[in-house]
Amino acid sequence: MHNKEKVKNYIYIAVVILSMLLLVICEIFKKRIFVGENADAMYALVTRAVGGALCLVLVLYCSYQNVLKIRGRGLLRAILFTLPCWAVAINNFPIIPYFSGKAHIDAALSAVLFYALQCLFVGFFEEMAFRGCIFMLVLGRHRKSSFDIFLSIVISSAIFGAIHLVNILAGASPAAVILQVGYSFLIGGMCSVVLMKTGCIWHCVLLHAVYNFCGGVVPELGGGTIWDTPTVVITTVLAIAVTVYVVVALIRIKPDSLGYIFGEDKTENAENTNEEKEVSGHSDIQ
């Protein structure tokens, strides 16, 4: 058993090194490897895919594999819980401006599908990194109280939001980046609660991907008015309502109920404790 664990760890380390090497190669030889009209998009797609795979390996290496399980039991309850969160993700698309003709998508269906694939890999990479690794690491060390859980969400979400500051170096306006940092923090917090309530990170990956797709497909592949008065009002009301919903859900989470996402079997622990008590009691009698 010990040898198997050593071999497994060696494989994890090898995959991590190869993934990091591949990312470095992609960066150094970016202009030679990625050519053509969609060079930047292909570069983003490949690096996010490799980065996501790297973070997935780290999740496994840290023994957080329970968050990768899609649990058939309780799946419907998990989906129902995430419905308000899906409303936020879908509402990120300018629904009213688009269907009223104020906003438009000019690209072909193939380009839209390719953009959707990009968003999927961005969601995969960022959720594996920030919820699968960072949040799980912080939560694993601090979950004795409700305040610990809250603090774990704040820390991981703050890191997730702050990482978007690098977009300033790419030429984005400071005001737009600050706004992005703000809503990234909120989305990070929402996804953290979703992970704790569902026990499955794939809900977070899909929510993140859809949110990015709905918010970016018109600006990237079309144009027009994105924010009109009705959209602003609906978005504000929905944001407040879902924030309250998520906060209430967070308050109801009991610290001792989170063991299952770390692979801690309460039933097994309880049985072991009872067995120890019985043995101890038997020894005392003797």
User: pLDDT digits over 3-49, tens only?
Assistant: 777 787 778 888 888 888 888 888 888 888 898 888 888 998 999 99
3-state secondary structure at position 142? coil
pLDDT of residue 31: 85
Using only the alpha carbons of the chain, give its radius of gyration.
Answer: 22
What pLDDT band is residue 168 in, cutting at 50, 70 and 90? confident
Say how far apart CA 191 and CA 160 lie, in whole Å: 11
Average pLDDT, the chain: 87
CA distance linking residue 30 with residue 23, whole number of Å? 10
* Residue type at position 131: R
pTM (2 d.p.): 0.86
Rounded Cα–Cα distance for residues 119 and 115 (Å): 6
β-pair type (103-105, 222-224): antiparallel
At 279 the pLDDT is 40
Q: What are the φ/ψ torsions at residue 104 (nearest 5 degrees)?
A: -150, 160
Q: Give dist(CA 102, CA 218) in Å, integer.
A: 11
E-strand stretches of the chain: 103-105, 222-224
- Residue 46 sits at the vertex; the CA angle it makes with 31 and 132, to the nearest 5 degrees, is 140
Q: What is the pLDDT of residue 264?
A: 79
* pLDDT grade for 72, boundaries at 50, 70 and 90: confident
Q: What is the predicted pLDDT for the residue at 223?
A: 94
Gap between the Cα atoms of 273 and 259, Å rounded: 16
Q: What is the pLDDT of residue 265?
A: 62
Dihedral pair phi/psi, residue 223, rounded to 5°: 175, -165
Q: Tell me the backbone φ, ψ of residue 222, rounded to 5 degrees.
A: -160, -135
**Cβ(218)–Cβ(92) below 8 Å:** no
pLDDT at 1: 52
